[in-house]
Each structure stands twice: as C-alpha cells, then as structure tokens.
Amino acid sequence: MEEHSRGAQTQGDRGLREAIETYRQLRDELSRDHPLPADAMPVIVGPLSELFELLVEQPAGFFARREAMVRRIRQAWRESGAILDPERSEAVLDAISRVPRELFVSEEARELAYLPTPLSIGHEQTISSPLVVATLALAAGSNKNGCVLDVGTGCGYQAAVLSLLYNRVVSVEIIPELASAAAARLRRLGYTNIEVFEGDAVTAITDAQRFDAVVIAAGSSGIPLTLLQSLKIGGRLVAPVGPETGDEQLVCISRTSEREFVRGSLGPARFVSLQGVAARASRHENGSMTRLPYCFGAPILTTQSDTE
C-alpha cells in the first residue's frame, strides 16, 4: 500500500473497480453463452461513458496500458492543431512512457491509473491527468544539463517525468504528509536526481536560486513574483492562472532578459488551488487571461512585460 492518505475517494475507487469487474464478467459470460452483436451489449451513457468504455476495454497489463496512454496523448496533441517541436514532444512522450504511473496512486486506484483523468491522492489533492502532465512538461521544455523547479509535488509523478528531461529536479510540497510520502516513494523507485522539500515554494526559494524551468501544478490568481524571478534568462514557467471559479488558463512564460518576459496561453485549464502565501484569490480582477495569445510548446509571438 502506498504511504499517502486515503479517504472517501479510495472507497469510491474500490467500488468502481468492483462494478467494472462485475460488468466485465457479465459481458464475457453473455458473449460466450449467447453471442450478440456489439450494439446489443450493455451501454453506459452520460458524461463518464467514454471514460468507462476506455476502462473496461483497456489492456490487461500496465505496460500495455502505458503504451495506450502515450498513443492518446500523441493523438490529442495532433488533433489540437498545434505546431509542436517533434524532437521535444517525442522526448516528453518517451519520458512519460517510462514512468509507472500505477505506483504513484493507491492500490485501489491502480486500475484507473492510465485513464485520461485526474485521480485523488488524498488531502483534497490530485494526480493530474496524463495529458496535463505531458503538456506541462512539453511547455516547460527539456534540458539534460538543467534544473527544474516543480511546485506542488503531490504524489511525485510530475517530478518523476521531469527527472527524465532534466539533470536535476527540485520539488516543493506544502502538505507535510504528501511531501514525506512522495520523497519516500521516489527514493524507493530509484529517482536519485529529485530533491523533495516540504514548505511553501514562494517563500522557500532564495534570491540566489535560478532554474531553467518552473512547473506549477496548482492554480493562483497570478504568478508569484518570487517564482517568476527564479527563472534563468531563456527559461520557461508554466502555471494555471485564473479565478477560483470560472475560466483559468494554463499560462506559459519565457524570460527573455532580466526585466522582460514573453507569455502566452496553452488554453483553458482547471487545477486545484495553490496553497500558502500565493493562495488564489476568489476573483481575478484584471481579466488579462482573455487577451493572452495561444501557444503549445511553440514560439510565443506576443511580447509584454510580466511582473504580476
């Protein structure tokens, strides 16, 4: 059993697994004893129908499920119409294909690990969907000789993916139980280039620390200046920005000089809220998110100073 806290969500995971197994058994028995056309099989309808279908039909082994997950991410990127750097996107897909996502969730949730959905990890936090994790990594770029700051360790999955794209990962988690569990898990799985710290990243990062990329996996009303200033020139910061309710954007910011930044949006997003001194305000007053240009790992063409 993984070390992190379990709550009502894991009970729901267990119930879903039981429902899935019952459905599979009934489907297999029905097909074996009374062959029927596919359209005569039971159908799940509603907003979860596609997810349920993927779950029921997913391959038996985790490796095969991981391969299917990578194919879905590649297809989603292709269908987005974004202009992607092939070398960078393939590097991210290779990294995410090498991380055993099932070992970053509870035993009860492992059946769900490779579905295109976030999952609860306790403490009102989630492991982001595979597509979101891959997109964050893609937008941040990769640097085999560089160092990336991962804000919001959670279960450690994002840090593990980033560790295959960067020489060093500094990961900060404000919830003590999640920080200690993630650190132990990453050590056990052999991720030796990741350092996990407990605390508030906004106050924990010193003026002297500089990173080639900053990945923030929790939403706030604006980018904390401390984290923005921690970027090296040429580095990228990726973070969800927007109000508690309503639209928020996954914002990508590149530092072009000591005082100048270029920013754009990867599109609409929905994340849990950043905790600590930069906790998200209830309203986002300046409305700037609606004016941001779209980007998706491609060059951002609109330049403006950003010192939020």
Residues assigned a catalytic role: 128
Beta strand spans in 188-292 (E): 194-198, 211-216, 231-241, 248-255, 261-269
Q: Is 160 helix (H, G, I), strand (E, B) or coil?
A: helix
Q: Which residues are CB-contacts of 83 (< 8 A; sequence separation ≥ 6)?
A: 296, 298
Three-state SS letters, 101-159: HHHHCCHHHHHHCCCCCCEEEECCEEECCHHHHHHHHHHHCCEEEEEEEEECCCCCHHH
Amino acid, res. 95: A
Q: What is the DSSP string of 187-213?
A: HHTT-TTEEEEES-HHHHS-TT--EEE
Number of helices followed by number of strands (H, E) in the chain:
9, 9
